[in-house]
Structure 1
Amino acid sequence: MSGQQTLPRGWRGLSGAMAQTPALGWTFVYFFCLLSGYYVLRPVREAMGAAADVNAVFPPAMIQFFAGLGMPLDKYILQILFTCTFLIMLALQPLYGWLVSRHPRRVFLPVVYGFFIATLLLFYGLFDSGVAGRGMAFFLWLTVFNLFAVAVFWSFMADIYTNVQARAYYGYIGAAGTLGAFLGPVLTRTLVESVGIANLMLVSASLLSICVLCIIKLRPYAVAREARQQLSSGEQPMGGEVWAGLKLIVREPLLRWLAVLMLLAVGVGTLLYNEQAAIVRAHYPDPRQATAFYATIDLAVNTLTLVVQLLITRALLSRFGIAPALLIPGIGIILGFSILAASPLPIIVAIVQVMTRSSEFSLGKPARETIYTRVGREWRYKSGAAIDTVVYRGGDLTFVWLHKAFAIFGSSAVFGLGVLVASGMTFAAWRVLGEEKKLAPERSEG
C-alpha cells in the first residue's frame, strides 16, 4: 500500500488538491494567519464586553453623560457597544465602496490590511498606557476588523477559484483558518498572564503582515483565472456607485435572501452571546479569567469545526451541492434552542454555542461563499461585503435589544424567541437555494 493510500481520506483529498492547485498553499497560509491574528485578540474583546467594571470599558465622560440621563451603562454594556458598531459599519460602507470602486484589487486589498496593522500599533500604546475607554474602542475596532478583513478574503477567493473548485476546496480553506483559530487562543492563554494584553496587539500585527505577502503571491492566480474565463479584470477599478452594494441587495432576490439569511443567523448567535455574557459576568469578574474562559470556548468551537471541515464539508458540497450545508445548521439550531427553552442550564448554553458557531463556520459560511464564484465582482466585493458587515451588525443591533426586552421574562422566553428566529433562518436558506438555481452556468475554462 502506498503512502498516499495510508493517509486518512480527508488528508488524501487535501494532498491531491494541493498538488493540482498551487494557489491553495498561499491561500492556506493567508487564512491561517488572518484567523490566528483575530483569535489572539477575540478573547480580549469578549472579556471587555462581559466586564463587570464599566470604567474598564467606557470613557468617564460617556459614563457621566448617560448617568445624567438615568441610564447606567453597566446595565447596557452590550447594547451600547452593538449599537455603536452598527453605526460605524454604516458609516464605513460608502468609504469601502469608494475604495473598491476607484482602485484596482492590487491597491485596495493591501490598503485594507495595512490600515488594520497600523491601528493595532495604536492600540498597543492605548493598552500599554491604560487609557480610559480603551475597552469600548477596542471592542468596536475588532468587530469591524473581523467582518471587513474576512469579507475581503472570501471576495478575493471568488476571484481565484471556479465554482467547482470552491465546492471542492472551501472546506479545506476553512480548515486552514480553523487551525489558525486554534493557535490564536493558545497564544492568548499562554501569553496574556506573562506579557499582558498590550503585547498581544503586536503578535496579531505580525500575523496580518504575512497576510499582505499572501495577497501579493495570490494575485497572479486571480489574473490568470479571469483571463481564462474572459471575466472582468480585477486589475482595473470596477467603478460603480459607492452605495451599489446595498442597492443591489434591495434589487436582486438572491442577494435579498442572502441578507435575510445572514440577519437571522446573526440573530440566533446574538441571543446566545448575550446569555453567555451574563453567565461570564457573574462567574468571572477578573478580566484575565474571563479572557481565559472565552479562549477555552473558542478552542471547543474550533475543534468541532476542524473535524467537520476535513471530513464532511467537501463531501457535502462536491456531491450534494450547497443545500445540505445551508439547511443543516438551521435545523440543528431549532433543536438546540428548543432544548434550552425547556431547560436553560448554563452547560447547555455553552454546548449549543459551540454547535451553533461551528456549524456556521464549517457548513453555512463555505456554502454561501461558493455562490459568489458565479456572480460579478460588484456583487461579491460590494454586496457580499455589505451583507457581511452592515447586515451582519444590523442583526446584532436588532437582536441585542430584543434580548434585553425578552430577558425580562427569563431565559426560556429568550430561547423561545430563538426557535422562531432559527425557523425563519431555515426558510431563508430554502429561498436562497431556489434563487441560486436561477444563476447562469459558470463559463468553461476550455
Structure 2
Amino acid sequence: MSPSQRLASAINARPGELAAALCGFALFFCLFAGYFMLRPIREAMGILGGVENLQWLFSATFLAMLVTVPLFAWVNSRVPRRRYLDWVYGFFALNLVGFAALFQACESVWGGRVFYVWISVYNLFVVSVAWSLMADVFDTLQARRLFPFIAAGASCGGLAGPALGALLVAPLGQGGLTLLAAGLLAVTLLAKHYLMAWRETRGAGRPGAPPSESPARPVLGNPFSGILLVLRSPYLLAVGAFVILLATASTFLYFEQARLVAASFPERAAQIRVFSLLDFAVQALSLAAQLFIAGRLAERHGPRVLLAGVPALVCLGFLALALAPTFTVLAVVMVLRRVGEYAFVRPGREMLFAPLDAHSKYKAKNFIDTVVYRAGDALSAWAKALLDGLGAGVLLAALAGAGCAALWGALGWYLGGRQPTRPAADAPRA
C-alpha cells in the first residue's frame, strides 16, 4: 500500500477523495492560523475596555451582524456561487489591511473596541462561508467521512496561529500580524478554486451524484431570504435553537474566564500569554479528537453522538464550577467546551446542512451561524450581567449554564436523529 493510500485509509477517504480532503484541510488551516494570531489581541482589547463593558461589545457585535448579513446575502444573490467566497474574503482581507494601518498609527480604547466587534463579526462570517463551501462541494456520505478531518485543519491552524503570534508579535507588532492574517486569508482562495473544480468531477456535482444546483449560478433571493427560510422550516428553527443554546453556554463560560483572568493576571502581557496557552491546549486536544475519534464516531453512529455528547459533558462542567469556582476548574471546563465544539459539535452541525439545497447551505446557514449566534451571545451576555447583579456569585450563573447545556444536549440528540436524507427536505425556498 502506497503512502497516499495509507493516508486516505487513515482519514476515511475513498479513492479520488484524498486531494480534496487535504485541500479542505489546508483551507481551514490558513483561515484559523490567521484568526488565532489575532484572537489573543482581541481578548486583551476586550479586557482593556473593561470586563464590566463586555455585554455592550456583544450587543454591538450583534447589531453589526444585522447590518452585515443582508449586505452579503445581496452579494450572494448577484454573483455565482463559485465566486462568492472571492468577494467575501477579498472584502475582509482589505479590512485587515486597514486595521494594520490603524495599529501602526495609534492604539486607543475605542480603536480596540472597534477591532473587538469587527473580528467577532469576521471570525463567524469567514468560517460560516467556508463550511457553506464544504457542504456544497461534498455530498452527505462524503461529509460524514471527511468533515472531521477537514475540521482538523482548523485545529492545526489554531495551533500554529498562537505559536506564530507569540514568535512574531515582537518583530512585527500587532499591525504586522494583521497583515500576515490578510495574506493567509488570500491563500484560502487558491484552495477554494481547486475544490470547486473537483466538485464537478468527484464531489456533489459528479455524474450520478444526487441532484444539486450548479455553482455557476447565484443563490437567488432577497437580502432577507435567509431568515424567511429559517422561519418556514421546523428543521432549521431547531438548528437555530441549538446554536442559541450553544452560544449561551459559551458566553457564560467566556464571561467567567474574562473575570477570573482579569483578577488572577492583572498585566496585559500575562493575559495574552494565558489566552495563548488556553488556545494552544484547545487546538492540540481538538486535533487528536478530530483525527482519531470524531470521524469514526460519525461514520458508525451519525451526527447524533457528536451533537449530544459534548453538551452533556459541559453540563457536568458547569455543576463542577458551581461547587468549586476557581480559575483551574474554569480553565478545564472552558477547554472541554471548546475542544468538544471544534472536534465534535461543529463537524456534526455542518453535516446537518449537507443534504439541503443551496439556499439553505448559503443563506439560511449564514443567518444561523452569524445573526442567530450573535443574538444568542448578546442575550446571554445581558442575562449573565443580570445574574451577576443579583450578587449570587458564580453559583447561580453556573446552575443556569448547566440547565442551558442540558437543553442543548437534548436538542442535539433530536436533530442528530432527524437529519434529512434528501435536498431541501425541510427547507422551502424563499
Range of TM-score over shorter length? over 0.9
Q: Secondary structure at the match of 1:373?
A: coil
Name the residue aligned to 2:381: 400
Contact preservation (8 Å) 2:125, 2:369: yes
- 1:288 Cα offset (Å): 2.7
Residue among 97, 102, 123 paired with 1:126: 102
Q: How does 1:188-227 map to 2 (within 5 A)?
A: 188-224=165-201, 225-226=204-205
Residues 270-320 of structure 1: per-residue CA shift (max 9 Å, x gap)? 000000101122233333322221110000111111111011111111111
SS in 2 for 1:372: coil
1:22 partner SS = helix
Is the 2:34–2:184 contact (alpha carbons within 8 Å) kept by the matching residues of 1? yes
How much has 1:30 moved relative to structure 2? 0.8
SS of residue in 1 equivalent to 2:418 = helix
Specify the code of the residue in structure 1 equivalent to 2:422: A
**Could you give the per-residue CA deviations for residues 299-349 of structure 1, whole angstroms, max 9, x where no partner exists?**
011111111101111111111111111110111011111111111111000
Q: Which residue of 2 aligns with 1:360?
A: 341
The equivalent residue for 1:59 is: none
How far is the alpha carbon of 1:12 from its aligned partner?
4.4
**In structure 1, how many angstroms separate the alpha carbons of the residues matched to 2:199 and 2:235?**
25
Secondary structure at the aligned position of 2:354 is classed as helix
Distance of 2:25 and 2:394 partners within structure 1 = 40
Note if 1:40 corresponds to 2:37: yes
Residues 222 and 314 from structure 1, CA distance in 2 versus in 1: closer, same or farther, beyond 3 angstroms?
same
* Counterparts of 1:248 and 1:303, CA distance in 2: 37
Is 178-187 or 423-432 further displaced after alignment? 423-432
Which has the larger displacement, 374-383 or 210-219?
A: 210-219
1:137-196 per-residue CA deviation (whole Å, 9 max, x = no partner) reads: 111111111111000101001111111111111111011221111000001111223432
Question: Residue 169 of structure 1 corresponds to which residue in structure 2?
Answer: 146
Same amino acid, percent of matched pairs: 33
1:109 corresponds to 2:76: no
Instruction: Give the structure-1-normalised TM-score.
Output: 0.89
* Alpha-carbon shift at residue 25 of structure 1 (Å): 2.5
2:25 counterpart of 1:28:
yes
Q: CA deviation at 1:102?
A: 1.6
Paired residues, what number?
A: 418
TM-score, length of structure 2 as denominator length? 0.92
Equivalent-residue separation in structure 2 for 1:12 and 1:380 (angstroms): 28
CA-CA distance at 1:368 after TM superposition: 1.2
Secondary structure of the equivalent of 1:357? helix
Residue type of the alignment partner of 2:205: E
| From 10, 14, 21, the counterpart of 2:11 | 14
- Cross-structure match for 1:82: 58
Alpha-carbon distance in structure 1 between the residues aligned to 2:281 and 2:289? 13
Q: Distance in 1 between matches of 2:392 and 2:405?
A: 20
Distance in 2 separating the partners of 1:387 and 1:117: 23
Q: 1:238 aligns with which of 201, 210, 219?
A: 219
State how far apart, in whole Å, the 1-side matches of 2:142 and 2:289 are.
Answer: 19
| Distance (Å, rounded) in 1 between the aligned partners of 2:371 and 2:333 | 26
CA distance in structure 2 between the aligned counterparts of 1:180 and 1:76, rounded to whole angstroms: 31
2:248–2:377 CA contact under 8 A, matched in 1? yes
- Separation in 1, partners of 2:99, 2:331: 30
List alignment gaps of at least 5 residues for structure 1.
55-73
Unaligned runs of 5+ in 2: 426-430
Change (3 A) 1:193 1:283: farther
Residue 440, structure 1, aligned to residue 422, structure 2: yes
User: 1:94 is matched with which residue: 59, 70, 80?
Assistant: 70
SS of corresponding position for 1:196: helix
Match of 1:57 in 2: none
Partner of 2:428: none
Match of 1:421 in 2: 404
Match of 1:421, as an amino acid? Answer: C
CA RMSD of superposed structures (Å):
2.1
SS in structure 1 at match of 2:386 = helix
Quote the offset at 1:19 in angstroms: 5.6
Pairwise CA distance, 1:21? 3.6
Q: 2:324 matched to which residue of 1? A: 343
* Contact map agreement 1:223 1:234 (CA 8 A) in 2: no
The Cα of 1:93 is off from its aligned counterpart by: 1.7
Separation (CA, whole Å) in 2 of partners of 1:390 and 1:122: 24
**1:67 paired residue number:** none
Query: Which residue among 103, 116, 121 is the counterpart of 1:144?
Result: 121
Contact 2:245–2:408, Cα closer than 8 Å, also in 1 = yes
